[in-house]
A and B are shown apart, each in its own frame.
Chain A
Amino acid sequence: MSVIGKSEIRKDVRLKVTGKAVYIDDLSFPEMLWVKVVRSPLPHGLIKRFNPSSALAVQGIVSVLTYKDIPGTNVVPIVLMDQPLLAEKVVRYIGEPIALIAGEDRQAIEEGAREIDIEFEKLPPILDPLMAMKEDSPKIYGKDNIFSHHRIRRGNIRQGFEECDLVVENRYTTSYQEHAYIETQGVIAVPYEGRMKIYGSLQCPFYVQHAVSSVLGLPYSQIEVIQTTTGGAFGGKEDVPSLVASQAALVAFHTKRPAKLIYTREEDVESMSKRHPAVIDYKSGVTKEGYLKAVQVKYVLNAGAYSTLSPIVLWRGTVHAVGPYKCPNVKVDSYAVATNTVPCGAFRGFGMPQITFAIESQMDELANRLHIDPIEFRLRNILRKGDRTVTGHLIKESMELEKTLKKASQIGWKREREISNGYKKRGMGIACNYYGVGLGAGGRHLAKAGAWVSVLSDGSVNFAVGTTEMGQGMETVLSQILANELGVKYERVSMVPTATTQVPDSGPTVASRATVMSGNALIKAARPIKKSIMEVASKMLKSPISKVKLADGYATSGTKRIGLDEVIDKCFQQRKIMSSQGWYKAPYTSWNKATGQGKPYFVYSTGTNLAEVEVNTLTGEVTVKRIIAVHDVGKVINPQTAAGQVEGGVLQGIGYALFEDMAPAGGKILNTNFSTYILPTAKDAPEIVSNFIEDPYPQGPFGAKGLGEQPIIGVAPAVINAIFDATGVRIRDLPATPEKIIAELNSHHPTFIPLGRR
């Protein structure tokens, strides 16, 4: 029986539920020092004086380091190389690192940090991206405060709008979203015979390797990065651990002692990346028959003080700015803008939850104004095989959005609404989305992955990949892929912790790419080994190779079968190749920067979310009753982990839609822990119905595409559309707090009557 499509028990589950998993803060080394980061209290300022002497006088303090102590370059290398590891003369956001304090224990470094004497001169901060874009605004980056600008030009936008019967134009805004990984950032740097070993909670070991190498001025070969059990990441441990690890490594380098750096929740929230707040001006036009004719978008991300991954986050949002729909006339301009606020970066969905909120709110409004059922309206416009995306990409395979839409509507779209009980109004909303799997043309040079497989003489199997497990279930899914490929039992396969010494640079673990990239690399790595096993099994079974099958721990041919352990033992006796490397390169992608045309991604996952809500119109409280989430993922490798991804994404999406709010005052984030940064709890969770459409993607391992990010993307707009359906109130500023809903319900705008209520 195939291991693919089975809910095998997660590889990491036993250690995690019994509390035995070893997280970075559980580790220590002899002679280890503790590190604390001294941070800027100002959003913008000059460092006039820095005096470490009273901090150095604190008992237990070993060292205070600044940018002057950096032997390599004072840059965190990501895309634009604009971010220093430690501020030199200027600080540009609250929480920006200035110095590192190392001491014998936690208490010493806390006290040392209080003693540090720094004098600043305040500079006026720019906190709002739209202000920062104005010509006469002070410049904190380049000539125009713009880190990055992308565009799409298709058809003739002016003519397109002229041909429309209905044009809708609105501004949408979104708040920060905090990753809220359970484990905060943490790293231990261990100097070891001239090399530097980095242990840490991280997503992208190779990014960390490159960053530490550049800061210490050592070759890549001298930096070894080992991932420890990682307690959640969601993109928040993509680029950021490069910074954390470089800080710890700098201390270890100078003191020649292991250095441990664990961020507190407060400093993590204050200084680490988040989902970018966005301002989106969205204009869309349709014919009265309900066909999209023209879309014009201006998409602005508040990137914060440094560019980090913003150019790529912005690019993904740009590519998908019209949603999974056909449209002949398109003009998209997007900007990642510098402000004196915390640098934003990668977060599950990567620039798409913001724009999808705008896209799907617009689609809903168009449908309502046209008096067309929102599902029917989408069916008239969605991408199918044979269509071109707005970037001109001809979709030839694996595009089953229509099936997800129809499935979701079949499960739960009731035109006959449940009777609303007085002031409690029920409503339903729908949102579609698509998601380009992998890094795409924006990260083409990184679109590769290596794997190493070793079958041992007792029949057990080890493998290593360059992507990481962070709670998403990669280890489990890859073990299933490999077990299936070699025909061994799932229980016999295990992954060694991801480390830079195991496999070649495989790019980052992001962009929902691990299943496709590492899965394919593993299959390739398994090939020579499989050949060895088949050859030996064929002799043992006295049957031609073409008749031999490997599955479930046996080699079989017709009715004959033999245990694989025995075959493997024989392979070793015969000194066959039993360990091997695999390498996979992503399919072709392209992008024309001037026109925004090309084949930006090699394949898209798609999905439909349907939300059912109840709005208390007296208090503005929204209860999400049910989310139906149908995703087209090519092939589900493990139904339980897939459902887990969907459930987590749905809850994160509900947080984004309704609760998670961060309104900094003067550049300072006020809610830096979970008593005031409001995440949904189990009590806020709705019934979640997850369902999958499986239309195998030919290039994917066993037909699989990515799923990691998809689940969060369409949830907020589905919820917001359902609130509209229930109340006639359309919230265009996330999150939809009761305060906003009540204000809208009591405003005197003529409310628009939702279609379902006429």
Chain B
Amino acid sequence: MKVYSPETIEETTKILGKLKGNVHLLAGGTDLVVKVKEGTVLPENLINIRKLPLDYIKEEGNQLRIGALTSIETIHRSKPIRTYAPILSDAAGKMGSPQIRNLATIGGNIANASPAADTVPPLFVLNAQIVLKDQKGSRVIPIEKFFSGPGENVMRRDEILMEITFRKCAQSDEWFFSKLGQRKALAISKVSLAFRGKVNQNRLTDVSIALGAVAPTVIYAQRTARFLESKTFDSALIDEASRIIQEEASPISDIRSTSEYRRRMVGALLKQGLWELKAGVSPD
């Protein structure tokens, strides 16, 4: 195994462009090192990207830009993210443990392409864009186009994930992120759900819902979102929406849970979140 430790982006993309054989980028290593230990990944070339200047959170007008190497803990605690994308900060705080959050990066969470990655459903409802770069230049991909299957994404082998950008949320946006794990910390999501929308005169508008761990990639629950916008926000609407959303999921059974439970929980998490939202917004 060859290890490279480039210090600039140019150097990195050059190495990436040149190398033959398999190449793996190492950020926090909390996914990659586990796979190397398990033997499912045997890197011939390892590029340690931790020295690259990609650890930042920037506000530009109504945009937020997050560098790929920003740690999950930094995102959880960041003032601008708490203010303008509280759902992302909340989801980051529900990941792993303090040790993991300090090492893990948002770029790694996305590039790893797990359907259970916890920053991804919030990034879906934030309509985030992913910025990729190779030797020749950059390209921008909407997050929902980034994933092609469990553990698979559309990045080419000579590209690096540079940053994530999205529009700031309005103060009036309602949101919640719910995650079910096998315990209260250090738990990979069995099911997760990100909700964003507005409540106007007892109606929901601008609803966006993303689901984690119940399909080969994170998905939008579009039918449910449209349905929620169609009628008065009351308990009948909530009940019906939590039925519809179960049809949008296509979960599997694995070592962490069963498909049946996961499907039911998609509905339960929506119901629980909307009830709490409703109780806080306008009592029935």
Contact = CB atoms under 8 A, between A and B. Distances in A.
Q: Do A and B bind each other?
A: yes
Interface of A: 422-423, 616, 618-621, 623, 659, 670-671, 675-676, 678-684, 738-739, 742-743, 746
Given A676-B255, A739-B257, A739-B261, 18 more contacts: A618-B271, A619-B180, A620-B261, A623-B184, A675-B34, A676-B256, A681-B183, A681-B185, A681-B186, A682-B185, A683-B184, A739-B258, A739-B260, A742-B261, A742-B264, A742-B265, A743-B261, A746-B264
Shortest beta-carbon contacts, A-B, top 10 = A683-B184, A683-B185, A618-B268, A739-B261, A678-B182, A681-B185, A684-B184, A676-B255, A684-B183, A618-B272
Contacts of A423: 272
B180 A738 contact: yes
B261 A738 contact: yes
Contacts of A684: 183-185
A680 B255 contact: no
B183 A619 contact: no
B52 interface: no
A679 B260 CA distance: 24
Nearest to B191: A619
B265 A619 contact: yes
Interface string B240-273: 0000000000000001111011001100110110
B182 A671 contact: no
Contact of B255 (A618, A670, A743): A670
Given A738-B261, A739-B257, A680 B183 contact: yes
Contacts of A618: 268, 271-272
Contacts of A676: 255-256
Contacts of B183: 659, 678-681, 683-684
B184 A681 contact: yes
Interface of B: 34, 97, 180, 182-188, 255-258, 260-261, 264-265, 268-269, 271-272, 275
B14 to A, nearest CB: 32
Contacts of B261: 620, 738-739, 742-743
Contacts of B256: 676
17 contacts: A422-B275, A618-B271, A618-B272, A619-B180, A619-B268, A619-B269, A619-B272, A676-B255, A676-B256, A678-B187, A681-B97, A681-B184, A681-B185, A683-B184, A684-B183, A684-B185, A738-B261
Contacts of A621: 180
A746 B260 CA distance: 12
A353 to B, nearest CB: 20
B1 to A, nearest CB: 13
A269 B124 CA distance: 39
A508 to B, nearest CB: 33
A508 B183 CA distance: 35
A683 B187 CA distance: 11
A742 B268 CA distance: 11
Most buried by A among B34, B265, B275: B265
Contacts of B186: 681
B265 A659 contact: no
A580 B256 CA distance: 57
A682 B185 CA distance: 8
Contacts of A743: 260-261
